[in-house]
């Protein structure tokens, strides 16, 4: 899960609202906001609160936005037909530097969905059975990728994050934050987090890699009709798995090496949408539309994940891998947003 970042930022551009004379469109980082006309100018310093920020009541009252929040949670909205993502306000302190995260100053927290019952029991942790990378939102970090940098764009699947591996010779499986007990009688197919171990290609690949590595971890998404709200045409009670990353002795494999290993053993991977020179506009276009995992009657695409062709790091985000969630998914169904 990405962290909450409430940055001090500059307004990149101001555009007229096509359907309202009293409103304008502001572009902040990678986000679009609808604001009252005349309140802001291009280049102005603002504090940006992204969607799913939860504000203390006293803060939302000071901003005059409490009535627009959902249990203090900032949601996406359509204002006279134009999407608006988040909230921008004038900084409490004009000396704050651009890029500074001021979430703590405002007491802002990140919305966490209610916990659901989980499959399997928690197992004692192992220091080498590590959690997956926290993938930050590209809209918050639109300049991490260099223009025309070779990148891979893959579809982001709406399921349950899963990790399986062989660590010091022992089979392991778990969710993002918890290692899970091995099912009784190895009934892998009936356990969300051990499910990949029921797939012969996964077993074969991890076993082969474990012969030469102390730590082998495969990360992927378990999805289906009973897993999340987007079912990808998989019947209720059934599950599928797509891998999206491979860690070997503390190093993530470059995408070409990862996909080569998976292809060699027949392990299904997340759909690759494009291998291309980086362009923010191209990424935004690819984030929309329908999922590639279905044919007719396909539902929306959650978004995309973007990574460099070769692994690298950046001091702003650590490992460079970012997500871009589609506008359609951010809005959800009609009950999830306000249209005024």
> Taking all residues of the chain, what is their mean pLDDT, rounded to a whole number?
90
pLDDT at 221 over 70: yes
> Rounded distance, CA 227 to CA 162, Å?
12
Domain range 136-335, CATH class: alpha beta
pLDDT at 339 over 70: no
Domain range 8-112, CATH class: mainly beta
Mean pLDDT over 47-74 rounds to 93
> Rounded distance, CA 210 to CA 145, Å?
33
| Whole-number pLDDT of residue 333 | 43
Give the burial string for 69-95 (b: 16+ CB within 10 Å, else e): beebebbbbebeebbbbbbbbebeeee
Tell me if domain 8-112 and domain 136-335 are identical in fold. Answer: no
| Whole-number pLDDT of residue 2 | 66
At 215, the pLDDT band (50, 70, 90 cuts) reads: very high
pLDDT at 20 over 70: yes
Query: Mind listing the pLDDT tens digit for each residue in 102-158?
Result: 999 999 999 887 655 554 478 888 989 999 988 999 999 999 999 999 999 999 999
This model's pTM is above 0.85: no
Percent of the chain with pLDDT over 70: 95
Residue 16, beta-bridge partner list:
24
Per domain, the residue ranges of the chain are 8-112, 136-335
């Amino acid at each position: 899960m990405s962290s909450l970042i409430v940055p001090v930022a500059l307004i990149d551009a101001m555009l007229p609202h096509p359907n309202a004379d009293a409103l304008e469109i502001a572009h902040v980082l990678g986000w679009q906001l609808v604001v009252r006309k005349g309140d802001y100018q291009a280049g102005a310093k603002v504090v940006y609160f992204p969607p799913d920020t939860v504000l203390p009541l006293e803060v939302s009252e000071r901003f005059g936005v409490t009535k627009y929040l959902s249990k203090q949670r900032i949601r996406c909205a359509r204002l006279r037909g134009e999407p608006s993502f988040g909230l921008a306000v004038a900084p409490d302190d004009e000396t704050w530097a651009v890029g500074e995260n001021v979430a703590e100053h405002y007491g802002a927290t990140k919305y966490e969905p209610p916990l659901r019952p989980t499959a399997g029991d928690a197992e004692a942790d192992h220091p080498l059975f590590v959690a997956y990378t926290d993938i930050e939102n590209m809209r918050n970090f639109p300049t991490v990728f260099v223009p025309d940098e070779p990148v891979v764009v893959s579809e982001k699947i709406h399921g349950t994050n899963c990790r399986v591996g062989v660590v010091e010779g022992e089979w392991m499986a778990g969710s993002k934050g918890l290692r899970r007990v091995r099912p009784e009688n190895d009934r892998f197919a009936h356990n969300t987090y051990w499910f990949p171990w029921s797939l012969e290609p996964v077993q074969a690949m991890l076993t082969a890699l474990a012969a030469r590595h102390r730590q082998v971890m495969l990360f992927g998404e378990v999805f289906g009709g009973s897993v999340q709200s987007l079912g990808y045409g998989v019947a209720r009670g059934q599950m599928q798995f797509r891998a999206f990353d491979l860690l070997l002795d503390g190093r993530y494999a470059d995408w070409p090496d990862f996909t080569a290993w998976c292809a060699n053993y027949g392990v299904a991977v997340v759909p690759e949408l494009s291998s291309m020179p980086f362009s923010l506009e191209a990424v935004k276009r690819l984030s929309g539309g329908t999922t590639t995992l279905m044919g007719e009657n396909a539902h929306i695409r959650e978004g995309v994940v973007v990574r460099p062709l070769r692994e690298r790091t950046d001091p702003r985000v650590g490992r460079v891998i970012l997500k871009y969630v589609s506008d359609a998914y951010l809005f959800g169904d009609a009950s999830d947003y306000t249209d005024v």
